[in-house]
Structure 1
């Protein structure tokens, strides 16, 4: 996806950097799987038997520190991604316990509010001396500065911050995100059906043409389009740019979640809010700057997700399940299956 979004920057140096980054990530995944199995055996020998938190949480917490192999930007990105997954897991627990009932309307309203906060914080951080952290949200507010010659009346005839009609500018911007979202989902769907493409091409085609394949791309495209639309209207109405424009623009753009009602999208927004608040906390001296902050956060979140894989399979994210099985070469699945059998046998006795 990074290569797709940065296709104009592709050159020899960029490809070499991406290749090195891929090797580093591959090494991280391998180390994570090996150390998880190693620590699981170690804790078993230390305590004499498996306990509630020594089966998955503690080994996963320990193996999570292998993220130090990755570069700093990846550490921040993975920490944010795992925080999103943990937040979604906690929400699913609350829904399962009937403490909270999730409806499409509630999800839409919550996402609109969080989107409004995200866009304002991102817009507000521009030009400030804040710690540089990798942006987790997929879209950043545009720089609303008139990029044309003020003396050129012909160039300024549109009365907005861009040099073309608003509807053309908005369509161009949103189409990039629409295309990237569609390409990503099509690639993901094709990888899942790779073994069936030659044997059952029609069945695979039917699956690819489902709404689920297009919903994420439509969400991205419509989000960007709605944000630009409201932003342009406010810019023209107020004859200039103001920070608060990001609040209503982000709120309206958040309604795009109706095309792809996914809990993860809401928690992506809330995670970005936390990330922005951390930046301000570090800048204000409230949070002490530490190179290990995101490493520790990742390790802790990793422990929770592995624990959920064992004890809450019904609400555990399929992404987490596949990630754990892939990192351990499917050995973790066998270990967890064996542990479940032993636990049932022990409870029966």
Structure 2
């Protein structure tokens, strides 16, 4: 591979900046993305529950512990990936092995998350990894290209998720269940359950 970086020592790295700057920007990028995502979700929840109109200072909850944990998680994940990838590129000279090990190392921050968040993030990463693998196999001709297959799988997954949310809530990760209930919990769930002869109290819904 020909050198593409401005630093002559970066014979295998594809970025233009020195490795230490590239890594530092990775940590910063993850922190910014995490803060934006958590701030958006927190603000959306405040608006839906109208809490921000009753107490404007409630907006300071953006900086609560749970939100900052996600900032640290994304910052560490992206920064570690870049740091390990640059290091292994120079040590091994093998792009595939370096990328694989760097991806493995980037999962270390996941170990410091709370159990509920850890499961939620792990499932999301697993889905994204599966999506990348399928696209790679299709692009290289190992799998046939089926029109609208992604849309179909998404609809099927959402259908299963909402079925489980109503009928088997104990099988859904608690953190994910809490997130769903912030936006879509309503009286229809209880009506549907009561109509079939079940007591909605068994499912933990609040009146």
Query: Which bin holds the TM-score, normalised by the shorter protein?
Result: 0.7 to 0.9
**Aligned counterparts of 2:45 and 2:187: Cα–Cα separation in 1:** 22
TM-score (norm. length: structure 1)? 0.47
Q: 2:121 aligns with which of 262, 265, 283?
A: 265
CA RMSD of aligned residues (A): 3.0
1:47-66 matches, within 5 Å, as: none
User: What is the deviation of 1:174?
Assistant: 2.3
**Aligned counterparts of 2:110 and 2:166: Cα–Cα separation in 1:** 31
Partner of 1:167: 20
Q: Deviations over 1:209-263 (max 9, x none)?
A: 321111112111111111111112122224x452111122111111011343421
**Aligned counterparts of 1:345 and 1:148: Cα–Cα separation in 2:** 65
Partner of 1:318: 178
User: What is the deviation of 1:164?
Assistant: 4.1
Classify 1:199/1:338 alpha carbon distance in 2 versus 1 (closer, same or farther; 3 Å): closer
Task: Give the unaligned 5+ runs of structure 1.
Answer: 1-143, 150-154, 326-332
TM-score (norm. length: structure 2)? 0.74
1:204-219 matches, within 5 Å, as: 204-205=59-60, 207-219=61-73
Whether the 8 Å contact between 1:227 and 1:252 is mirrored in structure 2 is yes
**Aligned counterparts of 2:36 and 2:198: Cα–Cα separation in 1:** 48
Task: Give the unaligned 5+ runs of structure 2.
Answer: 200-207
Whether the 8 Å contact between 1:160 and 1:166 is mirrored in structure 2 is no
**Aligned counterparts of 2:21 and 2:58: Cα–Cα separation in 1:** 38
Q: Deviations over 1:27-47 (max 9, x none)?
A: xxxxxxxxxxxxxxxxxxxxx
User: What is the deviation of 1:342?
Assistant: 2.5
**Aligned counterparts of 2:65 and 2:86: Cα–Cα separation in 1:** 30
**Aligned counterparts of 2:16 and 2:131: Cα–Cα separation in 1:** 33
User: What is the deviation of 1:193?
Assistant: 2.3
1:222 aligned to 2:82? Answer: no
**How many residues matched?**
189
1:304 aligned to 2:157? Answer: no
Partner of 2:52: 197
1:141-152 matches, within 5 Å, as: 146-148=3-5
Structure of higher RCO (CA pairs closer than 8 Å, 6+ residues apart) = 1
